[in-house]
Amino acid sequence: MNDTSEKNCLVTGGTSGIGAAAARELAHLGNTVIISGRSAGKCARQVEKIKHSVPGAHVEFLLADLSSQKQVRQLAKEFKERYSHLDVLINNAGAIFANHLVSVDGLEMTFAVNHLSCFLLTNLLLDQLKAGRSARIVVVSSAAHTHGSIDFEDLQSEHHYERVQAYAKSKLANIYFTYALARRLEGTSVTVNALHPGSVATNLGGNNNWLKTKLRNLLKPGMLSPDEGAKTIVYLSASPDVEGVTGKYFSDCKAVRSSDDSYNKENAEKLWMLSEKLAGFVKN
């Protein structure tokens, strides 16, 4: 099923959950895997877990709090210094916040972590991706995007904030980004696809109430394990079945249709231009 030739794979949010599971499986396939996370201790422990599970695995880590654009830029800089190319970029890091919080850059935290860090990091690493061998960008979105909408007059949720809606909006932004980037990468060897991992028992939301998160994972029917939730990530990262496939949305290792709103090119382009400004690529 998988292309086992060694490649460089960068996994954001790789210290736990589906990110850690995907990193382990990609290492098992013989790839060099670089995980990113906020905590040096958690990163180091996860690297050792993967090496214990996969003897001889090539696994490293890079530190970054993705809510900070400065740290995202430093992450990209450090990657470029260590590696000449990038074959797989998995934008997996994500969060949900119970209350309206503002990042160090003055942005609503859900938007900053789930969308803008993905937008910024990917664009900063495009040259390394183009230097890779048929490189792949994988964006972890969610079926929650179907409930999302983007109010361009209140992009930072300053007038109204509700955590589920903020999360859904960020996941819709992930798909807008995926489709807009696919259009920009036409004619290159780089592909980009988004996915829904399923309802997975992870620590998402644990920053708000860890006990409630644990109970949800135990009591909600049909919750997938992180290994099960990582299957579509690994599929998009390594399977020859999707070689050259780009600009699609996947669930359960199959291309499916995303929400009608997600195909709105005008909104996608508007979000792209605003994201360029917020990420400092162009002057306001």
* Residues catalogued as catalytic: 167
Backbone Cα Rg of the chain: 17
3-state secondary structure at position 25? helix
Q: What's 146's DSSP letter?
A: G
Beta strands in the chain (DSSP E): 8-12, 32-37, 58-63, 88-91, 136-140, 191-196, 248-251, 254-256
From the list 115, 167, 169, the residue with the least C-alpha distance to 279 is 115
Q: How many helices (H) and strands (E) does the chain have?
A: 11, 8
Measured distance CA(205)–CA(211) in Å, rounded:
10
